[in-house]
Structure 1
């Protein structure tokens, strides 16, 4: 797929700046076995191919898929970085999938699990076999032949969060770095992927991520690096936008989007956005964080919210607040799912897309998400690159404007369970304000516009000359 850049406010931006992502957890959605018994290859990518028209129809322009390289169980215990998991297919299957996605105008980003490997990875198995004589002892953290592991290996090692099926790599070891960078080269050369989502980026060495950025930029100029970061200062991972990652997961906003509705408290969401992106003093101003309402690690959004109709303003905010929006497969029509203790399987169900679309063809949630996807395409200038300014805030109503010199959109949401009348100050004088639902001009009186909003409703107003 050729490089894609766009012009916005005099700046050259890459495709990922204006993307809408669709998130796929392939082992779950294809119904693949949860354990890899190492049997014959099963070609399940044919099922994944069927999702591409639906993804494009939603207005998504990029897919985040993973994990999909050979692993022992859930995908994050990597067995072989250069082979597609046999439960999903083979390398030729994934090559075809990426090619078909590119033909549909959809970029493909994969999971990069570089903090740890599984116990079946060749380097760890060499240590098991050759012990102190293994040349790979330095590849892992904390290898100690005076200790023992819960698996009774006769040696100890450092594991991710004490999950001893996940062995922590030593990223200070030059051979490990070069091996992993070579893996990325292989993924780009073999599959023509467009980016990597870095699993556990908050555990990775900063210098390794800097080296990765340099290597991938030389390999593919518009290659995107996004890190999974849950807590802390997100800007540490992006820095000046040139040396480290392009983006990280915005878990802070994710929390606000559901709890701000459950508590009928738009102050929580607005405070998060002020802190992150305010024109005056936002700590992540100018950065493009990856926004989501659910994913493969957290409860489905429809299962989290107390008033189910709040799903509509929640998705409105996902698509219109600053950030790169992402939809998790099936949540566009309201799939339920909660963790069961440490079991994530309920979050990652098998879905047969043709059957699901037939069953959910009248889904109001999906129609809303599709409308928002088209809105994001039409108003990319202001929604991807525009400034943010708060206009109105109460516990139950919230309005803001996204704007550039060329384009502007006022967005208002209501978390009340009844219809309300609100009055919003206009952000600019001598402009026309057009309700996108009715295509009617809204009168401006005393510098304000008055709206009647439906229960759990959203209103979109285009600013025109």
Structure 2
């Protein structure tokens, strides 16, 4: 059981970008494939062939108090393990990327987070690996993941691959992580997760496991995989799309489906992450950014805030080499370096997170759509005892709901 997830609000950081790490690693290999020690393949000791010597993870330590000021209490990290470029081309799951630091830097980050009551969620890339990952041929399918020649798919029918993932998960949970966000979970047979988690959970019953699932049968995948949660891309898409099109019926449909997901597990909700255009750039009317956040923080699930979104950062993802760079920027040395232009959005996040904190039951709340037009919506969330209603108006005229009148392009929360 992991009851702490009911109270978790994540601040999602992409470490390689956040800390200004070089685009490419200087590493030359990931062990000799002989399986040294308890690590298995890629688990060599020391820093042989890895270069680096940087300690950029310490920059994240410097931002933990900011995370708390925002109102969050969880640090969701993107890839931190040895890789060739962007972190999702892993070559050693047992080694901190030398561009970020080493084991000591990880331990210091975990200790600093723990002192502040902050949980840390790691990004596990177990569907594919980088070309420099040393393993026997039968560990790989021989296929490139989704056409990316630099990413080789692991063979999830191979028991040794499951053994490896179990070792990796246990290793970092033993070191203080609170759970895993599992990259490209949708591409992995759900039975693989079921088998792996059955072996990891006995030693780590408090850990939380969420899979990246983009579309499809969320409840069915949760049931078959035994994952605790999934990434709620349907809600993400419906939020910005319905606001841009002034078609709140789309959001209403997604909210209805969201209730089925909540019955099956704990979805991770978000309006931004490392793979998508930032919400401030995605919306065609900046007045509706607040509406997006109101939906995020009043629906059931565990909300995740992508670093910089709380400062109204802009960034557009492009389908080209380096097309993610704009949404994975370097963060300043301290909050004092932020532009004052982002402060209102930061304070809006604080206000809405404060409401979420006062109503922790929202994590498991069921939400019904009441009054609904193209441009107005009433969302009432309840746990059977408590109740909260979010009123949205994205139209050009005031709208009177039973609970009150909402001005044009405005919102109201009735607690």
The alignment's TM-score, normalised by the length of structure 2, stands at: 0.90
Deviation string 1:322-346 (CA, Å, 9 cap, x unpaired) is 2221100001111111123322111
Distance 1:334 1:283 in 2: 29
| 2:346 corresponding residue in structure 1 | 366
Q: 1:312·1:456 contact (CA, 8 Å) conserved in 2?
A: no
Mapping of residues 312-323 of structure 1, within 5 Å: 312-323=290-301
| Greater CA drift, 310-319 or 268-277 | 268-277
Q: Secondary structure at the match of 2:355?
A: helix
| 1:82 corresponding residue in structure 2 | 94
Q: 1:69·1:78 contact (CA, 8 Å) conserved in 2?
A: yes
| 2:302 corresponding residue in structure 1 | 324
| 1:251 corresponding residue in structure 2 | 233
Q: 1:24·1:65 contact (CA, 8 Å) conserved in 2?
A: yes
Deviation at 1:360, TM superposition (A): 3.4
Structure 1 residues without counterparts, runs of 5 or longer: 6-12, 124-135, 142-156, 425-448
Deviation string 1:122-153 (CA, Å, 9 cap, x unpaired) is 22xxxxxxxxxxxx121111xxxxxxxxxxxx
Q: Secondary structure at the match of 1:196?
A: strand
* Structure 1 position 239 matched with structure 2 position 223: yes
Distance 1:216 1:317 in 2: 34
| 1:393 corresponding residue in structure 2 | 372
Q: Secondary structure at the match of 1:186?
A: helix
Deviation at 1:79, TM superposition (A): 1.3
Relative distance call for 1:53 and 1:284 in structure 2 (3 A) is closer
| 2:158 corresponding residue in structure 1 | 173
Mapping of residues 15-414 of structure 1, within 5 Å: 15-38=4-27, 39-123=51-135, 136-141=136-141, 157-189=142-174, 191-239=175-223, 244-277=226-259, 282=260, 284-285=262-263, 287-342=265-320, 343-355=323-335, 358-360=338-340, 363-381=343-361, 383-414=362-393
Deviation at 1:62, TM superposition (A): 1.3
Number of paired residues? 390
Deviation at 1:412, TM superposition (A): 0.8
Relative distance call for 1:56 and 1:355 in structure 2 (3 A) is closer
Q: Secondary structure at the match of 2:317?
A: coil
Q: 2:74·2:120 contact (CA, 8 Å) conserved in 1?
A: yes
Q: Secondary structure at the match of 1:363?
A: helix
Distance 1:37 1:408 in 2: 54
Deviation at 1:207, TM superposition (A): 1.9
Deviation string 1:403-454 (CA, Å, 9 cap, x unpaired) is 2344221211121245x13123xxxxxxxxxxxxxxxxxxxxxxxx3x2223
Relative distance call for 1:340 and 1:283 in structure 2 (3 A) is closer
Computing the radius of gyration over CA atoms, which structure comes out larger, 1 or 2?
A: 1
Higher RCO by CA contacts (8 Å cutoff, separation 6 or greater) = 2
Q: Secondary structure at the match of 1:117?
A: strand
| 1:446 corresponding residue in structure 2 | none
Deviation string 1:77-135 (CA, Å, 9 cap, x unpaired) is 11111111111111111111112112211111101011111111122xxxxxxxxxxxx
CA RMSD of aligned residues (A): 1.8
Q: Secondary structure at the match of 1:122?
A: coil
| 1:149 corresponding residue in structure 2 | none
Deviation at 1:361, TM superposition (A): 7.5
Deviation at 1:212, TM superposition (A): 2.2
Deviation string 1:232-270 (CA, Å, 9 cap, x unpaired) is 101122118xx6101111111111100110011111101
Distance 1:341 1:137 in 2: 31
Q: 2:6·2:302 contact (CA, 8 Å) conserved in 1?
A: yes
Q: 1:119·1:165 contact (CA, 8 Å) conserved in 2?
A: yes
Deviation at 1:389, TM superposition (A): 2.1
Q: Secondary structure at the match of 1:99?
A: helix
Relative distance call for 1:386 and 1:286 in structure 2 (3 A) is farther
Structure 2 residues without counterparts, runs of 5 or longer: 28-50
Deviation string 1:184-240 (CA, Å, 9 cap, x unpaired) is 111112x21010011110111222200222122112111111001111101122118
